[in-house]
Amino acid sequence: MLVRFLVLSFFLMSFSFAEVGEILSLKVSQDAYLVRGTEKVLLTTGTLLEVGDRIHTEKAHVVLILYPKIQMSVASGSEILISKHMVEEAGETEKTESLVELVRGLIRIQVTRDENEEVQQKVEANGVAFAVRGTEYEVSSTDDDAELDVMEGEVEVSSPYVQTFVPEIVKPNQGFKFERKAKKFNRRAMRERLRDNRFMQKQDVRRFWKEQRKDRFLAKKRPKTGLTDDKRQERRQIRAERRAEKKGNRRR
């Protein structure tokens, strides 16, 4: 029993850091920001994300990552809320549980998942929930409808307003629509809208996360330096710029 308790404690303590992700890139970055409590933070490459952050893209197209390997492309004019995000880790085994609320707009999600990882990733959009069973899909939300388009894998759709005996499963190259006023589901042809999603390649995501794990391990080992939050943010941004430069060199 003691051994099981210690293992569980390691799971829960392994991600004691406040940040759960970061901004990877912005296209037309004017006025994009997040709200954290009473604080408003303008978004830049390398901005760290926490649970509870409400992100407003305004005129920007924002690409972010939720650790370890969930990338999200957020179209301009969108608003999302990071409601829940937790990663449990023991050795090479990782379990991720994530919930993002799409308040309005359009997002595309790509999950890089390896054999030793379990991902429970869900998007909620005002009365309908989309739970990932696959790797890549788009969700949009307006006052009238919430829509889904699946590129890879499968997505499970559910809503308390629509009673079905089994969950609705949307497969690759299929589209789906939830009509809020009529409170009903409709299937349709897939309609891909965020083609310029600007995601990292999956091998680069794996490399990125390996570096993050190393940074976190070293942060636990090194003595406290008394750095301010601004200084930590500055160092993170420098590392992000260096990664972007290396990525550009590899492409050339």
Q: What tens digit of pLDDT does each residue of 74-93 get? A: 999 999 999 999 988 766 77
Res. 233 pLDDT band, cuts 50 70 90 = low
pLDDT for 40-70, tens place per residue? 999 999 999 999 999 999 999 999 999 999 9
CA distance 171 to 153: 6
- Contact status, residue 110 vs residue 133, Cβ threshold 8 Å: no
Paired with 102 in beta bridges are: 80
Based on its alpha-carbon atoms, the radius of gyration of the chain, rounded to whole angstroms, reads 19
Domain ranges of the chain: 2-124+191-251
3-state secondary structure of 16: coil
CA distance 19 to 14: 13
- Contact status, residue 36 vs residue 53, Cβ threshold 8 Å: yes
pLDDT for 114-138, tens place per residue? 887 888 999 999 899 999 987 899 9
pTM score, whole prediction: 0.80
